Amino acid sequence: MRILLVEDDTLLRTQLRTALQGAGYSVDEADNGRDAQFLGETEAVDAVVLDLGLPVVDGLTVLKRWRAEGHNMPVLILTARDNWHEKVAGIDAGADDYLTKPFHLEELQARLRALIRRASGLASAVLQCGDWSLDTRSGRVTCAGQPVALTAHEFKVLDYLMHRPGVLVSRAELTEHIYAQDFDRDSNTIEVFVGRLRKKLQSPSAHAARIETVRGMGYRLVPP
């Protein structure tokens, strides 16, 4: 999953980026409203963390422009303390949730997970498909109850597919959602990650899920 992180406070942005990357997200960053607006319009992000007090163009204006253009990714706004009307204005402008500064990183992460889940129509923090399970809180993956160790990229591919069981996902879409903008992308590596996931998540059980290759189209996570 890809997060667009918009915050002009360099220290806070660095802390948030480190935490989000540690939680398995790919992170694109902007420190002003103009760059943020552009990235939100052009990149396939799964959620946005948007500070409202931004240079060049303020966060509220950026959010309104996205929504007016039909960009409907989940947006979590960061608001200043004791500024309740900023929250109201943000929610009215199309924000899905808000956090007041200062906040705990754990709370930000929990809210982001919930927003991403809801966008996929999922209710539980533990994603289940057959005997595969992925706990979005801990990043723990199990197959038939046994823990499975995945690399960061394997996890990102599985996480994206587990949020979309039964849905055909193209290689291009996967590539867009697992790599941040400045990353050297190669869609051929997706095939490698999927191959490794199949090996690591093999189970003799009749309840095993599988990742199906749809020729020339992409992949689909198939429940048993």
Amino acid present at 20: L
- Rounded CA-CA distance 187/173 in Å is 10
CB 44 within 8 A of CB 172: no
Q: Does 51 bind Ca ion (CB under 5 A)?
A: yes
The pair phi, psi for residue 152, each rounded to 5°, is -55, -45
Q: What's the number of CA atoms in the CB half-sphere (13 Å) around residue 168? A: 7
Q: Does residue 60 contact residue 37 with C-beta atoms inside 8 Å?
A: no
Judged by CB under 5 A, how many residues of this single chain contact Ca ion? 3
- Tell me whether residue 51 or residue 159 sits nearer to Ca ion (CB atom): 51
* CB of 33 or CB of 165, closer to Ca ion: 33
* Spatial separation of the C-alpha atoms in residues 75 and 90, rounded to whole Å: 10
**Least gap, CB of 168 to Ca ion (angstroms):** 40
Q: Which of 21, 43, 53, 119 binds Ca ion (CB under 5 A)?
A: 53
> Is 8 among the residues that bind Ca ion (CB under 5 A)?
yes
Q: Which is nearer to Ca ion, 3 or 158 (CB)?
A: 3
- How far from chain centre, in Å, is Cα 167? 17
Part in contact with Ca ion (CB under 5 A); list of ranges 46-54, 98-106, 134-142, 167-175: 46-54
Identity of the residue, 8 or 97, whose beta carbon is nearer to Ca ion in the bound complex: 8
The closest residue (CB) to Ca ion is: 53
Residues that bind Ca ion (CB under 5 A): 8, 51, 53
